[in-house]
Amino acid sequence: MDKRNGNKASQLCEDLCTFIRRCILSVLTVGPVPRHIAFIMDGNRRYAKNRNLEDGAGHKLGYVALMNMLKYCYELDVKYVTIYAFSIENFKRRPEEVQSTMQLIKEKIEGMLREESLFNQYGVRVYFVGNLKLLSESVKLSAEKAMEATTHNSKVVLLVCIAYTSTDEILHAVEESCREKRAEFRKGMENSESLITVTDIEKHMYMADVPNPDVIIRTSGETRLSNFLLWQSAYTLLCSPSILWPEIGFRHLVRAVLDYQRNFAYLEQKQKQS
Amino acid sequence: MGSHGPIIACFSGLASLLKFRLAATSNADGAKFPEGLKRELMPKHVAIIMDGNRRWAKNRGLPVQLGHKAGEEVMKRIAVKCSELGVKVLTVFAFSTENWVRPQEEVGFLMKLFEQVIQTDFNDFIRHDMQISIIGDKSRLPKSLQSLITTAEESSKSNKGMRLFIALNYSGRYDITQATKKIASKVRDGILSAQDIDEGTFDQHLETSKIDFPNPDLLIRTSGELRLSNFMLWQIAYTELLFVEKLFPEFNEGDLLEALRSFQRRQRRYGGTQVY
């Protein structure tokens, strides 16, 4: 009886939170809402260390925080969410840590593939972006399966940057542009004055079909991009709350959206003046 | 308790004397080095987005041109201070590829201001042994400015002090695109093959190539704007970004020192786990 009452109380609490959240969101959406938000999920390891948790526990809690943020972005009608899951530089970490992170990523990808998962329920289409050749065969295969399984979803696009660095992405785009131009030149098509343009480079980026991020949120108070979306972030609002990633919540997203709306008004005014 | 008093007094007296002597020693070594800053943790390359000149002028009911003039004065002082503190490279964002859309009058004034800076202020920089380079698409600048730039760069070429990069008609995407064009020409002409293109190759073709510290350790942006506005993009992959509320004409040496202290307190990991 007590347990049932306890469950009812917590359900009521959750429903109340959802209601309050929906109210706040309906106020927020009166103004412009970012179309694309990117997250640098920094601070999982520090969070675990601060609480003397076992290795890998930080990343698991980080995953829970990520699912919550995805839910809030979905409710806010954000169309694109990009996350920095694993940098090429992270391969330099201790092999045990790299392996456990990869294992966690693989588990979560396989979770995505199950029908009752959040992803199909919310219509999330998943892309894995990066130099996927650097991943182990099993992780790469799971990633490809997940991309295929969510192709039909169209409400939100989730871009998972894995084995990614921006400089690698730019280099890849440059290489492809050069190859394309060389082929054109061979066919006698190339106009010697018009070599490569910004458009050529952009269309070969891994994230070519996605609009540039409106906001990048990096947790743990660090203010640097760490080789994430360098090209795409030319005009992006950069937010750096001091909380560690597993501590991120709805209020931090609200704060970021309010900052975005304030800057949006200023940018519009600036554009009118020039 | 009473009997320990004189002993304690004696020890604390000795300690103060020791501290004074140590302080004096370090002052003698780094005579003018500011408090709270460690010489060995100074960023090698500092970049500044000098934002807020126009807002500063508007807030005071002054014409925009005076804002730019005020900003120019600050830039000179900051450059000299960085040079004194042992910064090896300073890059300042003076004019973006996107700034051409500003009112013609303002753009014209800015071009004249740049000419004036090169003709007069650059002598100060050269006296401080600075090596000056202009990065950006110079071909679009007025011819008179272009020739002044060439002269200034030539005359400071053999200086051994701080490298001062002034970004004029520059943007991060422009820099990446122009590097790509150079590389594409080499690929077309068979000098390079597409698969040989790596990060090192790319670094060598950017406007910041051929120097020891092409990537900023610290980027400061004034006026509270939290964005890069298409300044250096490739080069700032691991740069510490510092956003300051003050408008650029209000940014003083004290603010610079505070920014450097903040930088020195940060931990840089470059994707690994070690704290650099």
In SS3 terms, A207-250 reads as CCCCCCCCEEEECCCCCCCCCCCCCCCCCCEEECCCCCHHHCCH
Does residue A197 sit at the B interface (CB-CB below 8 Å)? yes
CATH of residue A134's domain is 3.40.1180.10
> How is residue B100 annotated by DSSP?
G
Q: Cβ contacts (< 8 Å) between B241 and chain A: which residues?
A: 223-225, 238
- DSSP letters spanning chain A: -HHHHHHHHHHHHHHHHHHHHHHHHHHHTTS---SEEEEE---HHHHHHHTTPPTTHHHHHHHHHHHHHHHHHHHTT--EEEEEEEEGGGGGS-HHHHHHHHHHHHHHHHHHHSTTSHHHHTTEEEEEES-GGGS-HHHHHHHHHHHHHTTT--SEEEEEEEEE-HHHHHHHHHHHHHHHHHHHHHTT---TT----HHHHHHTSTTTTSPPPSEEEE-TT----SSSSTTTTTT-EEE--SS-GGG--HHHHHHHHHHHHHHHHHHHHHHHH-
Nearest Cβ partner for A234 among B102, B103, B230 = B230
**Could B176 and A201 be called an inter-chain contact, meaning their C-beta atoms sit closer than 8 Å?**
yes
User: B12 pLDDT exceeds 70?
Assistant: no
Q: What would the two tokens of residue B88 be?
A: 């090896």
Name the band, by pLDDT with cuts 50, 70 and 90, for residue B185.
Answer: confident
**Alpha-carbon distance A83 to nearest alpha carbon in chain B (angstroms):** 15
Instruction: Extract the runs of DSSP E, i.e. beta strands, from B55-101.
Output: 89-96
The residue from A42, A168, A200, A214 that is catalytic is A42
Measured over the CA atoms of residue A250, residue A251, residue A252 and residue A257, the dihedral's sign is positive
Residues A44 and A26 in one domain: no
Q: Which stretch of A115-129, B39-53, B135-149 has the lowest confidence by average pLDDT?
A: A115-129
Name the interface residues of B facing A (CB cutoff 8 Å). 101-103, 171-173, 176-177, 180-181, 183-185, 187-188, 194-195, 197-199, 202, 225-230, 233-234, 236-243, 266, 270-273
Let me know: does A213 contact A37? Beta carbons within 8 Å. yes
- DSSP letters spanning B176-235: HHHHHHHHHHHHHTTSS-GGG--HHHHHHHSTTTTSS--S-SEEEE-TT--S-TTS-SST
pLDDT at B138: 95
Residues A105 and A89 in one domain: yes
- DSSP letters spanning B230-246: TS-SSTTTTPEEEE-SS
**Alpha-carbon distance B174 to nearest alpha carbon in chain A (angstroms):** 8
> Edge to edge, what strands does the sheet with A156-164 contain?
A124-129, A156-164, A80-87, A36-40, A215-218, A237-239
Q: What would the two tokens of residue A130 be?
A: 């990066």
To the query of whether residue A168 is one of the catalytic residues in this protein, the response is no
Residues A18 and A105 in one domain: no
Let me know: does A198 contact B177? Beta carbons within 8 Å. yes
Q: Cβ contacts (< 8 Å) between A179 and chain B: which residues?
A: 187, 194
**Alpha-carbon distance A104 to nearest alpha carbon in chain B (angstroms):** 19
pLDDT at B20: 46
User: B184 pLDDT exceeds 90?
Assistant: no
Residues A52 and A154 in one domain: yes
3-state secondary structure of B268: coil
Which A residues 19-58 touch B at CB under 8 Å? 45
Residues of chain A with pLDDT under 50: 192-193, 274
> How is residue B96 annotated by DSSP?
E
Q: How far apart are CA B92 and CA B167, in angstroms?
A: 6
Q: Cβ contacts (< 8 Å) between A196 and chain B: which residues?
A: 177, 180-181, 184
Taking every pair of C-alpha atoms in chain B, what is the biggest distance, in angstroms? 90
Residues A59 and A16 in one domain: no
Chain A's closest residue to B266, CA to CA, is A222
Q: Which helix (H) or strand (E) holds B26?
A: helix B5-29
User: B153 pLDDT exceeds 80?
Assistant: yes
Name the band, by pLDDT with cuts 50, 70 and 90, for residue B268.
Answer: low
Which pLDDT tens digit goes with each residue over A251-272?
A: 999 999 999 998 887 777 666 6
Question: What does the pLDDT average to over B149-172?
Answer: 95
pLDDT at B275: 36
Nearest Cβ partner for B194 among A178, A230, A236 = A178
Q: Mean pLDDT in chain B?
A: 87
Nearest Cβ partner for B241 among A94, A197, A238 = A238
pLDDT at B271: 61
Please give the residue range of the domain that contains residue A7.
1-30
Residues A167 and A179 in one domain: yes
Q: How far apart are CA B49 and CA B73, in angstroms?
A: 15
Q: How far apart are CA B224 and CA B51, in angstroms?
A: 9
b/e code B250-268 from CB counts within 10 Å (16+ = b): bbebebbbebbeebbebeb
Let me know: does A98 contact A54? Beta carbons within 8 Å. no
Interface test with B, best of A41, A172, A178, A200 (most B CBs within 10 A): A178
User: B262 pLDDT exceeds 90?
Assistant: yes
User: B1 pLDDT exceeds 60?
Assistant: no
Residues A52 and A40 in one domain: yes
A215: left (phi over 0), alpha (psi -120 to 50) or beta: beta
Q: Cβ contacts (< 8 Å) between B226 and chain A: which residues?
A: 237-239, 259, 263
Closest CA to B225 of B49, B28, B54: B49
Residues A61 and A149 in one domain: yes
Interface test with B, best of A187, A196, A271 (most B CBs within 10 A): A196
CA dihedral in degrees (A57, A60, A64, A65; nearest 10)?
70
3-state secondary structure of B271: coil
Residues A26 and A37 in one domain: no
Q: Cβ contacts (< 8 Å) between A201 and chain B: which residues?
A: 176-177, 180
Strand partners, A160: A83, A128
| Integer Rg of chain B from CA | 23
Does residue A234 sit at the B interface (CB-CB below 8 Å)? yes
Interface test with B, best of A224, A263, A270 (most B CBs within 10 A): A224
Q: Which stretch of A92-96, B187-191, B246-250, B268-272 has the lowest confidence by average pLDDT?
A: B268-272
The residue from B51, B175, B196, B217 that is catalytic is B51
What are the structural domains, with CATH classification, of chain B? 43-171+218-265 (3.40.1180.10)
Measured over the CA atoms of residue B104, residue B118, residue B132 and residue B201, the dihedral's sign is positive
Question: What total of structural domains would you count in chain A?
Answer: 2
Does residue A104 sit at the B interface (CB-CB below 8 Å)? no
B60-64 contacts, C-beta under 8 A, 24 or more apart: B64/B106, B64/B109
Residues A25 and A120 in one domain: no
Measured over the CA atoms of residue A164, residue A170, residue A173 and residue A175, the dihedral's sign is negative
Let me know: does A159 contact A81? Beta carbons within 8 Å. yes
**Alpha-carbon distance A44 to nearest alpha carbon in chain B (angstroms):** 13
pLDDT at A101: 85
Let me know: does B193 contact B217? Beta carbons within 8 Å. no
**Alpha-carbon distance A13 to nearest alpha carbon in chain B (angstroms):** 37
Name the band, by pLDDT with cuts 50, 70 and 90, for residue B28.
Answer: very low
pTM (2 d.p.): 0.88
- Half-sphere exposure for B72 (CA within 13 Å, toward CB): 20
Q: Cβ contacts (< 8 Å) between B171 and chain A: which residues?
A: 234
Q: What would the two tokens of residue A123 be?
A: 């219509």
Q: How far apart are CA A136 and CA A102, in angstroms?
A: 9
User: B30 pLDDT exceeds 50?
Assistant: no
**Could B194 and A201 be called an inter-chain contact, meaning their C-beta atoms sit closer than 8 Å?**
no
Q: How far apart are CA B204 and CA B193, in angstroms?
A: 16
User: B21 pLDDT exceeds 70?
Assistant: no
Residues A194 and A141 in one domain: yes
**Could B237 and A182 be called an inter-chain contact, meaning their C-beta atoms sit closer than 8 Å?**
no
pLDDT at A190: 54
Residues A26 and A150 in one domain: no
**Alpha-carbon distance B54 to nearest alpha carbon in chain A (angstroms):** 11
